[in-house]
Copies of this chain bind each other. A is one copy, B any other.
Amino acid sequence: MSMPDEHTVRAEVRAWLAEHWHPEQDLVEWRGILADSGWGMPHWPRAWYGRGLPVAMSAVVDEEFDAIEAVGVARIGIRLLAGATLLEHGSEAHKRRFLRPILTGEDTWCQLFSEPGSGSDLAGATTRAERDGDDWRINGQKVWTTSAHHAEWGLLLARTDWDAPKHQGLSCFVIDMRQPGVEVQPLKQMNGYASFNQVFFTDAVVPAENRLGEIGDGWKIAMTTLAHERRGADALRRWGQAPARAGRIYDQLRAEIASVLEPYKWYPQRAGRVDLALPRARETGRIADPAVRQELARLLMLSSAAEWLARRARAAHELGRPQGPEGSLGKLAGSEVARQAARVHTLVSDAEALLAGRDGPHDGTIAEILLSVPATSIAGGTDEIQRNIIAERVLDLPREPRLDGGPFRDVPRNPERGR
């Protein structure tokens, strides 16, 4: 099958939009039409709500949507990570059942991978899935789960074989979050926000048909999800805003975005709000202090260079070249930027850095920065793990001796927690 050229694709999508798009229709209804047409996820296969186009062509389609501010399928939050995972590893039945409500935004999903005992060491999960007739019984605890409190479905990583080596004893399941054996509790952060949840499983049930892939495939499947997650920041930036236009569908979209983004509202503070540094240094007059200027210059240099490095990675990707070290370095650069931003905000705010809330500088935003930045070097993989990845996968330095081989049952690990 030969690939259509950009011109043809543009013409087709434009014609289709001209026929179907209008801003007064219902969001879910429109997305249903969109999903069925394949224009919502044009790089997905034709059989599953796509048109089998190359990824690069998706950008072309997006441009046409943007040009008339047409609303796309639901693309932010965990749900699309689940969608991509199901597309790759799900059965026919899974895809039929789950993909469409993901794209229409009807179903909310959450990701149930991390555990209190396995943070950096995700494969050390000890939540257990045990056979119970045709079902699986789930017992254990997950943590750092965004949106678990309003999710219909969860993508669950659980241990099915304690005698297999660590990475081989895990399986992946789709779990119904609205059942008695699943309890969701918000987890409050030191900055006062409760963006995440803890999820407790007590004899929760997963029917046999909701296992994803083969038994023991859990690690491989989770890696697919995480690979998509790493690109998630781009999606958030790209799709995290609704056009400032009137229309029923825009109102619905704004409500959806507000709900999905709620847990992320302190993320800009976590990243250090570099944008505020120079304006505030001017406002406060601290820009006249040469010591402040040195630190401010360091921050702005570091942050712009990190942005250029990321763009270089994207440019290389778009040219179809293998991704260089830039991708793996971005996370580490982000930690450095956030730390330096906190330093600068402290210097610039001076005594005012003691204050928070309405008394605090920039209506409390500076205080939020100072209390959020420490999460940057932990969330999504600690700095230490990033350095290991860079050293081992980019620089090809020898791995450390592993002490967690053999049957997982015998691997030294943290005590499992009771409720």
Which residues in A have some Cβ–Cβ distance to B below 8 Å? 289-291, 294, 401, 403
Contact = CB atoms under 8 A, between A and B. Distances in A.
Q: 7 closest A-B pairs (Cβ-Cβ)?
A: A290-B290, A291-B294, A401-B401, A290-B291, A401-B403, A291-B291, A289-B290
8 contacts: A289-B290, A290-B290, A290-B291, A291-B291, A291-B294, A294-B294, A401-B401, A401-B403
Nearest to A289: B290
Nearest to A401: B401
Contacts of A289: 290
Contacts of A403: 401
Nearest to A403: B401
A291 B290 CA distance: 6
A403 B290 CA distance: 51
A401 B400 CA distance: 10
A206 to B, nearest CB: 38
Nearest to A294: B291
Contacts of A291: 290-291, 294
Given A289-B290, A401-B403, 6 more contacts: A290-B290, A290-B291, A291-B291, A291-B294, A294-B294, A401-B401
A291 B297 CA distance: 12
A294 B347 CA distance: 14
A345 to B, nearest CB: 18
A225 B237 CA distance: 62
Contacts of A290: 289-291
A289 B290 CA distance: 8
Contacts of A401: 401, 403
A289 B289 CA distance: 11
A146 B214 CA distance: 65
A410 to B, nearest CB: 16
A291 B289 CA distance: 10
Contacts of A294: 291, 294
A294 B401 CA distance: 43
A399 to B, nearest CB: 12
A290 B403 CA distance: 51
A404 to B, nearest CB: 11
A383 to B, nearest CB: 17
Nearest to A292: B290
Nearest to A293: B291
Nearest to A290: B290
A299 to B, nearest CB: 15
A403 B403 CA distance: 12
A291 B298 CA distance: 13
A203 to B, nearest CB: 37
A294 B290 CA distance: 10
A348 to B, nearest CB: 16
A347 B106 CA distance: 62
A27 to B, nearest CB: 55
A176 B205 CA distance: 80
A403 B401 CA distance: 8
